[in-house]
A and B are shown apart, each in its own frame.
Chain A
Amino acid sequence: MINDRNLAWSVASSVLDPEIPCVTIGELGIIRDLKLHDRKATISVSPTYSGCPAVLAIELAIQAALLKAGFEPTIKRVLSPPWTTDWISESGREKLKDYGITPPVNASSKMALFGKIDVKCPRCSSQNTEKLSEFGSTACKAQYRCNNCFEPFDYFKCI
């Protein structure tokens, strides 16, 4: 029984993020809970950003993966406590970096206008970087440029 739950958990958490397919949703920390009764699995999932179009895609992918493994999944969307980038695991952070996305730096988003945070270049690790835009190709990313190796890169915004 316990092994079945572990199996269901590992099946659900190894689903890849549809927009950043280098990390699993387990590594992003969005699976909050899994309850198993016989083959019926109830999975609690935290959405990342309010308007993230990937939320539904992720839920469908979890359902599909669990069905394939012989479970009967039900997805429960959990809003509280809200997902934070602090829940991204160490291995998730490493993979983001290797993929060319700088992982989130620190917990609280700073309120100060024109405030600066030190974002390292994922390629050459230089701290000499500049923000091009707080917004990027997906809801979770900002655009930066490295002033050392001159490569533009994505930064996973901290929330």
Chain B
Amino acid sequence: MSPDLGKALLELADDNLILGHRLSEWCGHAPMLEEDLALPNMGLDLIGTARTLYTYACEIENSNKTEDDLAFLRNEREFLNCLLVERPNTNFAHTILKQLYFSIFMESYWAAALNSKDETIVGIAGKAKKEMAYHIRHSGEWVIRLGDGTAESHKKIVEAVDALHLYTNEIFINTQNTEFFIENNILPDRISLKSNWEKAIKSIFKQACIPYPKNDAELLGGRLGLHGEELGHLLASMQSVHRAHPGAKW
């Protein structure tokens, strides 16, 4: 298999797009007005990053494809996002914990990507890293408020940890698609970011009075295109307008 940077970037782009879309689902439904602005705003950052990555992937492939083709015309099995980001929003605790898991990882990923030999990746990383800093602040503060809040909020955030923690191992896996680019200092090595991630999460959980899960169970498959049923529903909703009006221009 010849190394294909375009395909390697899809994992990253799909993570950002799918989580960005999940956040946009809160628009008009958040528990308070500030969150109604905050969640879709963070979604906008992620979708913006995904767009840049898709556009760069098309540029590398030198095809006539556009970012829209990649986002709206691929099927479920062609999406390479990790399972964590496609998990349904469920409730505010699930959403905010998922965001914390992802943001802490991405902040360190983009920090490492600043040393990439690929200039475009350095550019994307520089911008996204700064945005991750306030995503971490937002989700971290909320996890602490919920965990150290009322009996009800504590119960909900602990339930979220139970439900989502087993999806976190997948974030750190270096896939076959990316191996070549990691060896050649174009993409960061994911596994090397794990211990700092755990340290950061543990510190926040401690402040939030949430026990850190001991269980090593993990669920994998997203990077191979093997997804949960929920991704199908997400794509059906996200892609419906584009598929109903093929080639439509704004």
Q: A50-B49, A51-B46 are in contact. Are A134 and B137 (CB under 8 A)?
A: yes
- Taking the nearest CB of chain B, how far is it from the CB of A130, in angstroms? 13
Stretch at the interface among B125-133, B190-198, B212-220: B125-133
Quick check: is A109 within 8 A (CB to CB) of the other chain? yes
Query: Complex formed: what's the CA distance from A85 to B41 in Å?
Result: 18
A residues 124-159 touching B (CB-CB < 8 Å): 132-137, 139, 143, 157, 159
| Assembly CA distance A80 to B52 (angstroms) | 13
Q: Are A135 and B34 in contact (CB under 8 A)?
A: yes
How many residues on chain B are close to A (CB under 8 Å)? 35
Q: How far apart sit A27 and B111, CA to CA, in the bound complex (Å)?
A: 28
The 8 Å CB contact of B136, one of A111, A132, A135, A143, is A111
- Bitwise, A107-132 to B at CB < 8 A (1) or not (0) is 00111011100000000000000001
Interface stretch among B68-76, B83-91, B138-146, B181-189?
B138-146
Q: Is there an interface contact between B123 and A79, defined as CB atoms closer than 8 Å?
A: yes
CA A133 to CA B30, docked complex, whole Å:
14
Question: In the complex, A123→B42 CA distance in Å?
Answer: 29
Q: Are B144 and A113 in contact (CB under 8 A)?
A: yes
CB distance from B93 to the nearest CB of A (A): 17
Q: Chain B CB within 10 Å — which of A83, A115, A159 has the most?
A: A159
In residues 70-108 of chain B, which contact A (Cβ within 8 Å)?
none
Say if the beta carbon of B25 comes within 8 Å of chain A.
no
Q: Which residue of A lies closest to B140 (CB)?
A: A113
A81 touching B126 in the complex, CB below 8 Å, given contacts A134-B137, A134-B138: yes
Chain B residues whose CB sits within 8 angstroms of the CB of A87 once the complex forms: none
> Contacts A79-B120, A80-B119, A80-B122 known; A49 to B38 CB distance under 8 Å?
no
- Which of A47, A134, A143 is the one whose CB lies under 8 Å from B134? A134
Q: Does B225 contact A (CB under 8 A)?
A: no
If A49-B48, A50-B127 touch, does A132 touch B133 (CB 8 Å cutoff)?
no
Of listed B34, B122, B141, residue having the most chain A CB within 10 A: B34
Asked whether, in the complex, the Cβ of B49 is within 8 Å of the Cβ of A157, the reply is: no
In the complex, A82 has a CB within 8 A of chain B: yes
Q: Tell me the smallest distance from the CB of B149 to a CB of chain A, in Å.
A: 14
Given contacts A79-B120, A79-B126, A113-B141, contact A133 B37 (CB under 8 A): yes
Given known pairs A50-B127, A50-B128, A80-B123, the reply for A135 and B52 (CB within 8 Å) is no
Q: Measured between alpha carbons, how far is A80 from B133 in the docked complex, in Å?
A: 19
Name which residue of chain B comes closest to A142, CB basis.
B134
Contact A157 B48 (CB under 8 A): no
Across-interface contacts of A80 in B (CB, < 8 A):
119-120, 122-123, 126
| Selected contact of B204 from candidates A50, A51, A113, CB within 8 Å | A113
Indicate if the CB atoms of B141 and A50 lie closer than 8 Å: no
Contact of B34 among A47, A79, A110, A132 (CB under 8 A): A132
Q: Cβ of A157 and Cβ of B120 under 8 Å apart?
A: no
Contacts of A111 in B (CB 8 A): 133, 136-137
Additional pairs, 20, CB under 8 Å, beyond known A111-B136, A143-B37: A49-B131, A50-B51, A51-B44, A51-B47, A51-B51, A53-B44, A79-B52, A80-B119, A81-B126, A82-B123, A109-B134, A110-B137, A111-B133, A113-B137, A113-B140, A113-B141, A133-B37, A134-B134, A139-B45, A157-B134
List residues of chain A with CB under 8 Å of any chain B CB. 47, 49-53, 78-84, 109-111, 113-115, 132-137, 139, 143, 157, 159
**27 chain-A/chain-B pairs, Cβ below 8 angstroms:** A47-B127, A49-B45, A50-B44, A50-B45, A50-B46, A50-B52, A50-B127, A50-B128, A51-B20, A51-B45, A51-B46, A51-B47, A51-B49, A79-B126, A80-B122, A81-B123, A83-B127, A113-B144, A114-B144, A133-B34, A135-B34, A135-B38, A135-B138, A136-B37, A137-B37, A139-B45, A157-B134
